[in-house]
């Protein structure tokens, strides 16, 4: 028998086995190398790409500063609203959405045609962000929230709201769509009121919902709040009375300014016509202009107290000095200066009380040019008041080097130069303060910004007493008299200048100071082009002064200074 054969063993390392192991090893090494490469060399790039898809920088909301009056009543504040924006690229990726019921609803909510809305998107096909409508009405935003439309988003913003609407609109002004000041004190103090939104980093999901906060990049900073000098109670009172007067006389426009004599603060400033700053469709230039600081007019007879004050300051006359005004006219350089009636020989006080053009012309012609003009320069005519109000006019006070005596005479009673209602109010506050000039301020003050004595207290007080006679019986402005307070003032009625001379339209105004015993307010009322036969300042503007000043002084807690009132308050006056 032959020897048995040994069974064949399984080879430990065949060629296929080696190849398989080699492939696995190579694959593993390749994956490991790729992972190492991505982790070590491509990490920044990959993180960046990931962040582009999930990490966002979001704004942290901040609010514009609040504007309030001197008593803390809000005149302007920011309220949260929502704005609508689109991602046209995302919408067009699924064009069927533009034929959906929700798309039709969106067009209806926005008061747009469906075709118009679709065309808006198609024209911006490559855009990823485009505003469709800013500052939506809350009801519109609520309805849009219910829609299920890809690429249609709402973003929270802020809209400026003005609680007192047209009553304070010319002072406060308004902001634009991006909350920057465009008019009034919103513009003047824009840098203070403007807020600085912060930024934070967040992680969002596919539907842009925030799933993680990664920290604040920059902190948000609210705008500063400002407190105005305006008293809303007096402002509303002035607005009501001025509007009533403009309507009653069929006038083209009107302005009213009240200054605090003791500080230079603007307590009220109103104009007609006015506008509602909450409605963008009313923001038209002819309505938004603050006429009290931009419009100029010849002050007419309201300038006469300044001529009298100059004569007193230069020791040319005293209040009782007699001046001949007969025969009611005066020839100067072949031109005539005329009075309404022949007053004859009267005192300087009577000249002011009866508003004699001849009398003040004689006073002016007796003064040197330098002395006469110096008063008007000191009062600030020809330069703005320094209030900082946007668009404030400087008026016009350009005197020719070789001006004639007739020009000098007419300037004595308010012709040949132009002022704004605010300038005139400041000039009268100088007389009320005993000759001290204080800068005008729209911000609440605890004390005047500065003080400059430009006239003597004695002569200023004398002119104030003379102007009190204007409001008393026999004067030209009895309609400006107050029930409880003594008043000094001067009427003015001036023809409006036109090309080549003067037209048939009038400006009626009254400038006054109350109370005389301790002046607190200086006010100017100006009515532009009253219709009909009643156009004199004493008939048109003076009654407005009376109604506003009486109540304004009570609101300011000023003690009545008329003797009759004091007696009545103690029950000692039986018959008024």
Would you name the residues annotated as active-site residues?
Answer: 301
The span from the CA of 305 to the CA of 32, in Å, is 99
The span from the CA of 294 to the CA of 423, in Å, is 10
The span from the CA of 464 to the CA of 450, in Å, is 23
Omega within 30 of 0 (cis) for the link into 273? yes
CA angle 168, 169, 171 (to 5 degrees): 70
β-strands 174-175, 181-183: how paired? antiparallel
CB atoms within 10 A of CB 213: 11
DSSP 3-state of 474: coil
Q: What is the phi/psi pair of residue 186, to 5°?
A: -60, -35
Structural tokens at position 203: 């992680």
Q: Name 503's Cβ contacts closer than 8 Å, sequence gap at least 6.
A: 495, 496, 497
Q: Name 164's Cβ contacts closer than 8 Å, sequence gap at least 6.
A: 73, 75, 172, 232, 235, 236
DSSP 3-state of 84: strand
The span from the CA of 130 to the CA of 89, in Å, is 10
The span from the CA of 246 to the CA of 255, in Å, is 10
- Of 380, 396, 213, 393, the closest CA to residue 293 belongs to 393
Q: Name 512's Cβ contacts closer than 8 Å, sequence gap at least 6.
A: 428, 467, 471, 477, 480, 487, 488, 489, 490, 522, 523, 545, 549
The span from the CA of 458 to the CA of 434, in Å, is 7
The span from the CA of 20 to the CA of 14, in Å, is 10
């Amino acid at each position: 028998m032959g020897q048995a054969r040994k069974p064949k063993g399984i080879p430990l390392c065949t060629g296929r086995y080696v190849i398989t192991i080699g492939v696995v090893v190579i694959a593993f090494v390749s994956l490991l190398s790729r992972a190492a490469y991505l982790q070590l060399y491509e990490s920044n790039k990959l993180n960046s790409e990931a962040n582009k898809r999930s990490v966002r920088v979001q704004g942290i909301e901040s609010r514009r500063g609040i504007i309030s009056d001197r008593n803390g009543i809000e005149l302007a504040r920011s309220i949260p609203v929502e704005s609508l924006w689109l991602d046209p690229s995302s919408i067009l990726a699924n064009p069927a959405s533009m034929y959906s019921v929700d798309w039709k609803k969106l067009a209806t909510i926005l008061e747009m045609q469906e075709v118009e809305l679709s065309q808006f998107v198609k024209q911006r096909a490559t855009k990823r962000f485009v505003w469709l409508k800013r500052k939506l009405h809350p009801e519109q935003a609520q309805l849009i929230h219910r829609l299920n439309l890809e690429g249609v988003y709402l973003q929270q913003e802020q809209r400026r709201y003005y609680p007192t609407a047209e009553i304070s609109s010319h002072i406060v002004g308004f902001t634009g769509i991006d909350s920057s000041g465009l008019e009034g004190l919103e513009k003047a103090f824009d840098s203070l009121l403007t807020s600085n939104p912060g930024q934070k980093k967040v992680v969002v999901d596919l539907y842009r919902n925030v799933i993680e906060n990664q920290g604040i990049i920059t902190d948000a900073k609210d705008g500063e709040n400002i407190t105005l000098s305006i008293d809303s109670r007096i402002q509303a009172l002035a607005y009501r009375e001025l509007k009533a007067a403009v309507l009653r006389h069929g006038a083209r426009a009107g302005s009213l300014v009240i200054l605090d004599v003791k500080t230079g603060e603007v307590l009220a400033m109103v104009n007609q016509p006015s506008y509602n700053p909450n409605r963008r469709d009313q923001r038209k230039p002819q309505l938004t202009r603050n006429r009290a600081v931009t419009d100029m007019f010849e002050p007419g007879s309201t300038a006469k107290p300044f001529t009298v004050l100059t004569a007193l300051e230069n020791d040319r006359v005293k209040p009782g000095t007699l001046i001949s005004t007969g025969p009611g006219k005066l020839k100067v350089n072949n031109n005539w200066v005329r009075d309404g009636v022949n007053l004859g020989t009267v005192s300087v006080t009577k000249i002011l009380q009866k508003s004699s053009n001849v009398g003040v012309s004689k006073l002016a012609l007796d003064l040197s040019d330098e002395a006469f003009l110096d008063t008007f320069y000191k009062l600030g005519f020809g330069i703005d008041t320094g209030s900082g109000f946007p668009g404030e006019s400087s008026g016009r006070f350009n005197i020719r080097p070789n001006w004639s005596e007739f020009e000098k005479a007419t300037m004595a009673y308010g012709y040949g130069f132009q002022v704004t209602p605010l300038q005139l109010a400041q000039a009268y506050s100088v007389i009320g303060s005993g000759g001290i000039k204080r800068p005008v301020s729209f911000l609440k003050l605890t004390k005047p910004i500065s003080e400059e004595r430009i006239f003597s207290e004695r002569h200023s007080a004398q002119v104030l007493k003379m102007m009190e006679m204007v409001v008393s019986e026999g004067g030209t402005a009895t309609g400006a008299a107050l029930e409880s307070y003594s008043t000094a003032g001067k009427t003015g009625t001036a023809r409006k200048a036109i090309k080549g001379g003067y037209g048939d339209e009038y400006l009626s105004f009254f400038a006054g100071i109350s109370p005389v015993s301790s002046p607190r307010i200086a006010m100017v009322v100006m009515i532009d082009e009253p219709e009909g036969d009643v156009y004199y300042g004493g008939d048109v503007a003076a009654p407005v002064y009376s109604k506003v000043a009486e109540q304004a002084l009570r609101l300011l807690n000023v003690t009545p200074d008329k003797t009759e009132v004091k007696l009545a308050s103690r029950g000692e006056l039986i018959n008024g």
